[in-house]
Chain A
Amino acid sequence: MRPVDLKGISGKRIMELSLANKSMERAAKRLAELGIPDRKSEEYRYFDIEPLMEKEWEPAVKRRPQMIERAHRLVITDGMISSMPEGLEVGCSDTLDLDVSHFDPMYYFGHLFGGDILQIRVKRDMKLEIKHIFTQPGKLLTYRVAIYVDANVKLGIYESFEAEEAKNALIVSGIDLFAARDSRVALYKDQTLFESDYTPLFSYRFKIDGNAEVKFASFDMGSGNGLQTLHAQLHENSSILSDHLLYAVENARRGTVSKFVHIGRSSQSRQRAKSILADRARGIFDALIKVEHSGKYTKAHQNSKAVLLDSGAYMASKPQLEIYIDDLEASHGSTTGQLDEKELFYLRSRGIAYEEAKKMLILAFANEIIDSIDDENIKERIHSSFEYSYYGKNIIECIQTCHGCEKTVTMSQND
């Protein structure tokens, strides 16, 4: 198969693809306008995209499975469905009502090079678990998922990832979510990455119709690099609640770039980001709220809090407001600092060891977001993901400080 050289993608190749249909043509046009991201791209400003884009990538092979297994969840292996729950309406198509104003060129890249789009139609209230499995190391995997939620339907999605065999892969993917009138959608993304794992460049698009309500919550953890971009369009009386918990360690560069556009009247957005950065990790929160002239009585609030745990940690925060109407309520706030001295001291004065007190405060900081998950089952899973990556990272420290692990300590001393 022909390797993909991102920067070297010729206009000719894009032209070829764009001939397929109207939506491909649009994607090609937008990609040409925005260009493949480089050092100067505002949306990738803090991410260090250049090395990824300069590498010559071999595309991952998409294998159609012999048969699709029945399971309690939808499993997508290397961009193809390998198992799915009964009664789920899924199709494949190369056309889509494309978002023509997404800011992320990789959104269009994904649509152009991702082949058929996996399309899921949700007609009745349900909970859906989507598991993405990546198996091909060093490859570029590109695919897109579209989810249509019918009017007045309530949907909860839990998205998880498994990639033990996909070292150094680049995954360009994401979801187009269409929330019809009066629908209620909650999407929880739980993604822990380790260094030299795959790098996700995920672009989401939320089209939120009148009175619909979307909740998106991302739980990004670990030592790997990754960036998610979000573009939401809010129509009359609709709302989006967007929560981002980031726990990044070692040399991770991880974060969210988002643009929420209030188009209709009385629409609401609330965005909370909490970042915990250790070692030399870099957190990114670059979020724009735009209120169009038509977005009267909008309420938009955005808040970012970051805690830097080590001297090499770095937070880039860019909360932005772009407002074209006077009748609204909008605010944003951003703080970057350390754990609160007074709180730490209080705990220690009650006899709690320094490291333990720190952990308590970090967990409390993270729990503010985790505990706001309505679904108990999902909340539990995310709690354990967080604790896994949190204690996993500190395993040595844990062995040394935790009295419950004396056995382990003895064993390691024997070694």
Chain B
Amino acid sequence: MPEKELDRAVQGEYKLGFEIDIEQDTVPPGLDEETIRFISRKKEEPEWMTQLRLKALRRWKSMEEPRWGHLYYEPIDYQSISYFSAPKKGPESLDEVDPKILEAYDKLGIPLEEQKQLAGVKVAVDAVVDSVSVKTTYSEELKKHGIIFCSISEAIRDYPELIKKYMFSVVPMNDNFFAALNSAVFTDGTFVYIPKGVRCPMELSTYFRINALNTGQFERTLIVADEGSYVSYNEGCSAPMRDENQLHAAVVELVALKDAEIKYSTIQNWYPGDEEGKGGIYNFVTKRGICEENAKISWTQVETGSSITWKYPSCILKGDNSVGEFYSVAVTTLAQQADTGTKMIHLGKNTSSTIISKGISAMKGQNIYRGLVKIGANATGARNYSECDSLLIGDRCGAHTFPYLESKDAHGQVEHEATTTKISDEQLFYLRQRGIGEEDAVSMIVHGFCKEVFSQLPMEYAVEAKALLNLTLEGSVG
């Protein structure tokens, strides 16, 4: 199966750049209180939610777009974006989902049909097209375990207490410019709740797709793992090829209560634009998790898409003995720019964090690792280990490492290592002497470089990630 996947992958070009031809219900571009009310009304939200959105909008208006990233792009005109787009046919039940959407998800290789099982593993999927969750699978089966897996709109309607308690608790609405924007206009996303002591029996998964023209996608994900529970969650994404840039500003909040564990994996493959930097998604994402005592949050990301990536999945290690992990592969080729990394905030005693970041730059790609490790004064016995390696392919790309390591003496240890290399001629030659073609040899070395990160992904996603990596690097080698 891996071979088949690889074969499928090595076709070059952005393969997911098709457009779904479905009728859209789209609000005209622009952002003011009226837009917010419109979205809220469309989603039949309770008044408290509308008020929260309006508050976020007011906050956002007083904030400035951050420019500290090592990123170069034309200013974004926030009034030219449409903040709501939904397939016109509202999918009330699973049977009503527009067959065209199902077909589209089929093209993406996402099993929406419940009987379809990937590699023998059950995967429950929530699919989000533009702003609206179109289908959630397996939710009935999950309900038996008391697990809630639904769109965030449904959650606001059906589980207001959980939402009120946890939404904005990890990423406050005024956390940063993009988080504030999302808090005002978020249209859908996924909500997961795992009750006490429950080990979620299957992988949970959400696929996001931006389809409509001139729209931004602003989804919001909230995962709450109650005491002693476990969940593994995956997200994937894609967008059609378009000449103009599209904005994606998402927020993800994770809450891992005492002894809970959340594994969050992302395969990000938004349209990257072309070699001249034309088109592509601007991906400004805020992801953060909070760990209570003995809890563990593990972020794994494979970032191959988007023309601009700005995201730092972070862990607040509040509880004693809690653990945070960040594993990342970021590939920038064409004219892509990625400023990504993590923040590990150690507050509790004996907390530990691990950061493994692998950046690969090819063609004109610019890859930036930016990370913060902070050991608080009370975090006695805290430990961090970071390793940030960059691989350069070709002489027009760039690789940059900007770690911030702040340590209060709490009998902790912070260790950071970074290297920047190119593929060595010697390694390449060795493989070629054994009869392996140049491109395959490069791909083999690159995969070896990323291995530590891929091994963190659930098996079937690791296959997808590897295929995606090959696809992305296709044509940028040599």
Contact = CB atoms under 8 A, between A and B. Distances in A.
B409 A313 contact: yes
Nearest to A325: B395
A334 B419 contact: no
Given A313-B409, A337-B413, A321 B418 contact: yes
B413 A335 contact: yes
A314 B375 CA distance: 9
B412 A337 contact: yes
A311 to B, nearest CB: 5
B393 A333 contact: no
A309 B422 CA distance: 39
Interface stretch (B114-122, B180-188, B397-405, B433-441): B397-405
Interface string B382-406: 0000000010111111111111111
A150 to B, nearest CB: 35
Interface string A90-126: 0000000000000000000000000000000000000
Contacts of A313: 408-409
B477 to A, nearest CB: 12
B422 to A, nearest CB: 4
B419 A326 contact: no
B416 A308 contact: no
Contact of A277 (B404, B409, B420): B409
A316 interface: yes
A78 to B, nearest CB: 37
A323 B394 CA distance: 12
B453 to A, nearest CB: 20
Contacts of A316: 404-407
B420 A315 contact: no
A314 B420 contact: no
Contacts of A333: 415-418
A46 B372 CA distance: 14
A77 B411 CA distance: 44
Contact of A324 (B398, B403, B406, B416): B398
B404 A318 contact: yes
Nearest to A293: B395
A333 B68 CA distance: 23
Contact of A331 (B393, B410, B420): B420
B414 interface: yes
A331 B421 CA distance: 9
Contacts of A293: 395-396
Interface string A289-323: 00001001000000000101111111111111111
A314 B414 contact: no
Given A318-B402, A327-B422, A338 B411 contact: yes
Given A326-B392, A326-B395, A332-B401, A319 B406 contact: no
A296 to B, nearest CB: 8
B393 A326 contact: yes
B410 A311 contact: yes
Given A321-B418, A335-B414, A309 B395 contact: no
B409 A318 contact: no
B377 interface: yes
A385 interface: no
Contacts of B400: 320-323
B409 A311 contact: yes
A319 B419 CA distance: 12
A49 to B, nearest CB: 17
Contacts of A326: 392-395, 397, 422
Given A331-B419, A332-B418, A335-B414, A322 B409 contact: no
B463 to A, nearest CB: 29
B377 to A, nearest CB: 7
Contacts of A296: 395
Contact of B405 (A309, A311, A329, A336): A336
B247 to A, nearest CB: 26
B64 to A, nearest CB: 11
A303 to B, nearest CB: 10
9 contacts: A317-B405, A317-B407, A320-B400, A322-B70, A326-B394, A330-B419, A331-B417, A332-B416, A334-B417
Interface of A: 42, 46, 277, 293, 296, 306, 308-338
Interface of B: 68, 70, 375, 377, 390, 392-422
Given A311-B408, A319-B416, A327-B422, 7 more contacts: A311-B409, A318-B403, A331-B419, A332-B401, A334-B415, A335-B416, A337-B413
